[in-house]
Amino acid sequence: MEWEPNASLQSWTSFRLPAKAAYRLRCTQPEELLRLPELFPLEELPVLPLGNGSNVVFADDYPGIVLRAEFRGIRCIEAEEDTVCIEAAAGEPWHEFVVTCLRNQWYGLENLALIPGTVGAAPVHNIGAYGVEVQQFLEGLQVWDRTQNAFYWLPASAAGLSYRSSLLRTQFLGQLVITHVRFRLLRRACPRWDYPELHGFLRAAHVFHPSALDVFHAVVTLRRRKLPDPHQLPNAGSFFKNPIVPQEYAEELRRRYPQVPCFPQGEGMVKIPAGWLLEQCGWKGIRQGSVGTWQHHALVLVAYGPTTGRELLRFAAQLWRSVYERFGIALEPEVLILPPEAWQPEELLR
Ligand SMILES: Cc1cc2nc3c(=O)[nH]c(=O)nc-3n(C[C@H](O)[C@H](O)[C@H](O)COP(=O)(O)OP(=O)(O)OC[C@H]3O[C@@H](n4cnc5c(N)ncnc54)[C@H](O)[C@@H]3O)c2cc1C
């Protein structure tokens, strides 16, 4: 275990914003967490678990411990006729984990290839892409609970995963640190390629019966085309969530804009791509000072030069306002903004 007081978080987040933490702490073994109460006044200091920081925006310095869980290890816990239970430690890089699963013929996660970050963060924000979400394969989480200074297992059903969220990100943020994640994967490939962009790509390549590996390669190619590499151009992927609106509103929108993409979610709700809404407002490939939107995707905010969390949020607030004024939809950030009170779009625009 290593810690540093008053330490920069710039290299710990994909946006590389110049915030500091009261303490920056790296743990390589879960048991090290048990020593935290004797080393730090935990009743006074908030704790923020972090993976690669690819979904976080620090608007200000963090007044507590930013803890990177660097635990490693992947193992097969149990193999049944149709499924396997795989356990991965929180610090495993997500994409490498997906590759390991494919190599071992443990199927299901191939649509989630190349998402930056760690295994530990994947359930927190219920990562998803190309028609698949991690909750479809999640069995459970081992967590360290700071209020009890103890480890226990949480079944997936108790972690409250929903669209790009979970209880780990809301109610339990700072209370629970994930040490291990268990996935229930398939022993026979069942490739999912109904997502329109993926489907179109595979058909154009004359692939009509894709294997899991075909889907994996297609997803990697599509993502490389569409998204900026955070190592080259700092960003945190999609800045806003795709809004989910009532069917009647989606129909009204379709009357006004016949080309609007709509993804039915069941129960009379429809998902509208936030990137499409932003594009209609003219936000694709726009730069203002050191911040802007990515040239191929209006939903991805990027730092073109040194910037601050506040500058980034002021820019994001302009995007938020134009979608609100044109479509009456209040976009919600997908990135975790800290402190959460820093996201007040109307205040930021004053
Ligand atoms: C270019 C790019 C593309 C992206 N594409 C996608 C995409 O297609 N789909 C998608 O869903 N996301 C996407 N993202 C967002 C991001 O990759 C995911 O949210 C990812 O899971 C973040 O992993 P991380 O390790 O960087 O987490 P961090 O950003 O470090 O943390 C994210 C959240 O998880 C919590 N957390 C992290 N580790 C732990 C732990 N051990 N215990 C408890 N809580 C923890 C943090 O407190 C925070 O709330 C993209 C990001 C980028 C930069």
Q: What is the mean pLDDT of residues 273-282?
A: 97
Using CB distances shorter than 6 Å, the residues near ligand 1 are: 14, 48-56, 69, 90, 115-118, 120-122, 124-125, 127-129, 168-169, 177-178, 227, 230, 235-237, 336
Q: What is the mean pLDDT of residues 331-349?
A: 96
| Gap from CA of 86 to ligand 1 centroid (Å) | 20
Q: Which pLDDT belongs to residue 295?
A: 94
Q: Which pLDDT belongs to residue 38?
A: 95
pLDDT class of 23 with cuts at 50, 70, 90: very high
**β-pairing, 138-145 with 235-238?**
unpaired
| Gap from CA of 117 to ligand 1 centroid (Å) | 5
Cross-strand bridge partners of residue 48: 66
Round to whole Å and give the CA distance between 187 and 108: 9
Non-local (6+) Cβ contacts of 259 within 8 A are none
pLDDT class of 257 with cuts at 50, 70, 90: very high
Of ligand 1's listed atoms, the one at least distance from the Cα of 129 is 8
Kindly report whether the global pTM for this prediction surpasses the value 0.75. Answer: yes
pLDDT class of 318 with cuts at 50, 70, 90: very high
pLDDT class of 150 with cuts at 50, 70, 90: very high
Structure tokens at 186: 């398939």
Taking every pair of Cα atoms in the chain, the longest distance, rounded to a whole number of angstroms, is: 62
Round to whole Å and give the CA distance between 176 and 61: 21
Question: What confidence tens digit (pLDDT) does each residue in 85-98 have?
Answer: 999 999 999 999 99
Q: What angle do CA 98, 104, 108 make, to 5 degrees?
A: 50
Q: What is the mean pLDDT of residues 220-236?
A: 95
Q: Which pLDDT belongs to residue 253?
A: 94
Distances (CA, A) of 75 to 34, 182, 333: 24, 10, 35
pLDDT class of 298 with cuts at 50, 70, 90: very high
Cross-strand bridge partners of residue 176: 145
- Write the DSSP symbol of residue 311: H
Of ligand 1's listed atoms, the one at least distance from the Cα of 229 is 1
* The three-state (H, E, C) secondary structure of 201-266, written as one string: HHHHCCCCCCCHHHHHHHHHHHHHHHCCCCCCCCEEEECECCCEEEHHHHHHHHHHCCCCCCEEEE
pLDDT class of 334 with cuts at 50, 70, 90: very high
Question: Is the bond preceding 93 in cis, omega lying within 30 degrees of 0?
Answer: no
Q: Which pLDDT belongs to residue 12?
A: 97
Question: How many percent of the chain have pLDDT more than 90?
Answer: 99
Domain-by-domain residue ranges, the chain?
2-69, 74-186, 235-348
Question: What confidence tens digit (pLDDT) does each residue in 234-243 have?
Answer: 999 999 999 9
Single-letter residue type at 342? A
Cα–chain center distance at 87: 20
* The three-state (H, E, C) secondary structure of 156-205, written as one string: HHHCCCECCECCCCCCCCCCEEEEEEEEEEECCCCCCCCCHHHHHHHHHC
Residue 334 catalytic? Answer: yes
Mean pLDDT estimate for the chain? 97
| Gap from CA of 207 to ligand 1 centroid (Å) | 31
Q: Whose CA is nearest to atom 23 of ligand 1?
A: 117
| Gap from CA of 98 to ligand 1 centroid (Å) | 15
Question: How many percent of the chain have pLDDT more than 70?
Answer: 100
Question: What confidence tens digit (pLDDT) does each residue in 151-184 have?
Answer: 999 999 999 999 999 999 999 999 999 999 999 9
Q: Which pLDDT belongs to residue 238?
A: 97
Q: What is the CATH class of 235-348?
A: alpha beta
Round to whole Å and give the CA distance between 316 and 307: 13
Return the CATH fold of 2-69.
Answer: 3.30.43
Domain with residues 74-186, CATH architecture: 2-Layer Sandwich (3.30)
Residue 322 catalytic? Answer: no
